[in-house]
């Protein structure tokens, strides 16, 4: 059993959650109810308006809470210039006194987040931009001098002071592709997010094994964040093996609130606190 298991709220900042004031209230209530974190999706196009920008909202949440971890889950580097994400992250990290976790990944174009604006939508291009952008973000946070001429980005910066707080990175993954697993193994955590189902313990154990095969030391602290619905506050029974997931290696359970859930019900889930293991 993972004694360090933590619980977060995971939700899209649009539809009923599109008002940033609602999101700040939700985060304050989550902290009061005993949740450990609040994590926001990052999209710019949706059919469930209004939609809130996650980074400015996270800054407001950072000011309104004291202990809650927070972050975007996930922000696609291929859609946001990596140096801007680095600065956004630096700002929120300092505001929160080191409570930021940056979830990132290749992103998706199912709602037109890329193609609506003429951005490259091909998976191979997005993957390459993610790899290059992540390297640049880390260098900026470390305060390194950068002379970079890559396939996608040109960056020339003098050395500066490193970030006062370490900024951990979680890598999103929709599959166990070896390249994706290898990229995640170089980060601080992984957010497996398959499109068509919720993870079971055997899958989490398999992901942990694949990470170790890709070079993740067995004793290095590393998060595995799993999303789903297990709160007793939902109006129907949920059958989730939280104990089995934790034993398999899960370190975070993210209770998923979806934009078509009534706001009152979502708030009831938040107020009920983390599900029991």
Handedness of CA 26, 32, 35, 37 (dihedral sign): positive
Q: What angle do CA 130, 99, 168 make, to 5 degrees?
A: 30
Position 204 scores a pLDDT of 97
Instruction: Specify if 38 maps to a domain.
Output: yes
Low-confidence ranges of the chain (pLDDT < 70): 1-2
56 lies in some domain: yes
Residue 160 lies in a domain: yes
Given a contact cutoff of 8 angstroms between Cβ atoms, the answer to whether 193 and 212 are in contact is no
- Domain boundaries, position 266: 6-271
User: What per-residue confidence (pLDDT) applies to 249?
Assistant: 97
Q: Is 226 exposed, middle or buried (0-12, 13-18, 19+ CB in 10 A)?
A: buried
For the domain that residue 49 is a member of, what is the CATH number? Answer: 3.20.20.30
pLDDT tens per residue, range 244-263: 999 999 999 999 999 888 99
- H/E run at residue 140: helix 123-142
Question: Quick check: pTM over 0.85?
Answer: yes
Mean pLDDT for all residues in the chain: 96
State the total domains in the chain. Answer: 1
Q: Is residue 276 part of a domain?
A: no
Q: How far apart are CA 19 and CA 13, in angstroms?
A: 8
Would you say residue 222 lies in a domain? yes
Q: Quick: pLDDT tens for 195-239.
A: 889 999 999 999 999 999 999 999 999 999 999 999 999 988 888
Q: What is the pLDDT of residue 2?
A: 60
Classify residue 174: in a domain, yes or no: yes
Task: Determine contact, residues 31/68, Cβ cutoff 8 Å.
Answer: yes
Determine the pLDDT at residue 260.
Answer: 86
Identify whether 230 is part of a domain: yes
Among residues 33, 101, 34, which one has the least CA distance to residue 62?
101
Structural domain includes residue 65: yes
- Spatial neighbors of 142 by CB under 8 A, at least 6 apart, are 162, 163
């Amino acid at each position: 059993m993972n004694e360090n298991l933590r619980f977060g709220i995971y939700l899209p900042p649009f539809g009923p959650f599109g008002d940033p004031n609602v999101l700040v209230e939700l985060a304050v209530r989550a902290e009061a109810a005993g949740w450990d974190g609040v994590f926001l999706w990052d999209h710019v196009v949706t059919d469930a308006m209004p939609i809130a920008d996650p980074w400015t909202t996270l800054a407001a949440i950072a000011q309104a809470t004291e202990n809650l971890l927070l972050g975007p889950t996930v922000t696609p580097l291929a859609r946001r210039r990596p140096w801007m994400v680095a600065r956004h992250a630096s700002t929120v990290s300092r505001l929160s006194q080191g409570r930021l976790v940056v979830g990132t990944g290749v992103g998706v174009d199912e709602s037109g987040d890329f193609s609506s604006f003429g951005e490259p939508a091909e998976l191979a291009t997005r993957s390459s931009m993610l790899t290059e952008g992540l390297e640049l973000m880390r260098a900026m946070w470390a305060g390194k001098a950068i002379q970079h001429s890559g396939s996608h980005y040109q960056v020339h910066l003098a050395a500066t002071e490193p970030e006062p707080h370490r900024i951990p990175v979680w890598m999103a993954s929709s599959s166990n592709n070896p390249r994706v697993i290898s990229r995640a193994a170089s980060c601080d955590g992984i957010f497996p997010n398959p499109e068509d189902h919720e993870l079971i313990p055997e899958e989490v154990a398999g992901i942990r094994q694949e990470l170790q095969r890709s070079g993740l030391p067995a004793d290095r602290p590393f998060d595995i964040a799993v999303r789903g619905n297990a709160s007793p506050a939902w109006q129907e029974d949920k059958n989730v093996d939280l104990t089995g997931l934790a034993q398999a290696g899960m370190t975070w359970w993210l209770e998923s609130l979806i934009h078509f859930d009534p706001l009152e019900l979502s708030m009831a889930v938040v107020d009920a606190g983390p599900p029991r293991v």
